[in-house]
Structure 1
Amino acid sequence: MKPERTLTIGIDIDGTVTEPSSIVPMMNESFGKHLRYEDCFVYNLAEVYGISDEAFVDWLDKHGERLYDEAPVHGTADLILRSWFNRHRLIYISAREARHREVTLNWFSRYRIPFHELDLIGSHDKLAAAQRWHVDLFLEDRLENALQLSEALEIPILLFDTPYNQGTLPELVHRVHSWEQVDALVESLPIKRLLGSQS
């Protein structure tokens, strides 16, 4: 029998625990477009929708609460996160703003998604938070975050495959297509801390 692993897992929320395509219908509704999730070829949706960055920030400011409340769970994320809860430390590090903590907690409660810490940092730069929580690996959908975290922390990153994060990946970044694949990788990846070195 394999020994129980106790990992500190950093987990992004939007596009990782939530279904990555869930923002597209709301954006279409607001901007009169008929784009598909597959058309979102870059992470910056302002570029995809042909609007200014300021217009997108304003849209998210007005519609973020609804977006975070209505987003469906990504695949079997809820089931797998529940199965991890008693064996691993689950630290959610999200670019959501602190003012969205209540809607986030309500969503987690509705879908029975467990957590040990919920860190809403209001920024896409998650490096300082990942360092503060001493994460052993990170689950993410944004390519730039995956590259930064893997290089700076020298830890495995599991990057959920999306139209907007295509490209060549370094050795520590593993492209994944389902939460089932993530679950299997978490059990098999070599984690530095568990091998006796400092992560």
Structure 2
Amino acid sequence: MQQLNICIDIDGTITDPYYWLDISNKFFNKSISEEQVTEYHCYKVMGVEQEEYREFYENYKFEIHSKQELRENVRDVLEILSINHKIFFITARDSSLSMLTYSYLKTNNISFNDLFLLGSHYKVDKAKELNCSVFIEDNYDNAIQLSENGFKVLLIDTNYNRNPINDRITRVYNWNDIYTFINSMCIKKEAI
């Protein structure tokens, strides 16, 4: 089996996509439901200024990210994929969350080869550096940007990313879909 370099976002991709909603609702005295989260940017969902949300996030980011629930089957799928492939986490989180992120992945028994906290949503250069075979993402804008730079992207479905996709993006609905897609990708590569 040909080894793939699988690049994966963290927040909303391996974790529940609405992980930030409860604490944000409580802080901003809102009652936004998951179904109402049709926009990626949290401040827009909350109806507050970007700077106001940024200040809230800076004060609560450790609490927010330490309590995230994993998506169903993430651990099992990544454990199986890590046998034959390299797993790289590439996140927009900033370096202040480095220890927390490593600890979170280890505590949750998530298999991976390396972790990159970019402090930015721009992931194209890191994907190129890692010779990324497929990128798993929940952010629609990131998926478009990566696909326009030649990467195959699996966009895991959420309420906030249901925009039209191009032929380099495949919409998936869960981690079992991701496993199936990657297996079929390997079979196609072996057949060539």
**What corresponds to 1:58 in structure 2?**
55
Deviations 1:81-125 (A, max 9, x none): 111112110010000011101111111111100111100000011
1:177 to 156, 173, 176: 173
* Alignment coverage as a number of residue pairs: 192
TM-score, normalised via structure 1 length:
0.92
Q: What letter is aligned with 1:88?
A: H
Structure 1 residue 184, shift from structure 2 partner: 0.1
Query: What residue number does 1:139 align with?
Result: 136
The answer to whether the 8 A contact 1:155-1:191 is kept is no
Q: Mean alpha-carbon deviation: is it higher for 183-192 or for 138-147?
A: 183-192
| Structure 1 stretch displaced more, 7-16 or 185-194 | 185-194
TM-score, structure 2 normalization: 0.95
Cα distance in 2 for residues equivalent to 1:194 and 1:101:
37
Amino acid at match of 1:46: Y
Give the one of 93, 106, 109 matched to 1:109: 106
Counterpart Cα distance in 2 of 1:155 and 1:131? 9
Per the alignment, in what secondary structure is the counterpart of residue 20 of structure 1? coil
Q: Which residue type is aligned with residue 178 of structure 2?
A: V
Shift of the alpha carbon at 1:48? 1.2
Q: What is the rounded CA distance, in whole Å, between the counterparts of 2:40 and 2:95 in structure 1?
A: 22
1:2-151 alignment runs, 5 A limit: 4-151=1-148
Displacement of 1:5 in angstroms is: 3.1
Partners in 2 of 1:5 and 1:76 — Cα distance? 23
Match of 1:186 in 2: 182
Give the alignment partner of residue 156 of structure 1, picking from 152, 159, 180: 152
Partner SS state of residue 119, structure 1: strand
Cα deviation digits, residues 36-78 of structure 1 (max 9, x gap): 1111111011111111111111111111111111001011111
In structure 2, relative to structure 1, the CA distance for the partners of 1:50 and 1:191 (3 Å cut) is farther
Point out where structure 2 has 5 or more consecutive residues left out of the alignment: none
Q: Could you tell me whether the CA contact under 8 Å between 2:92 and 2:119 is conserved in 1? A: yes
**1:166 aligned residue:** 162
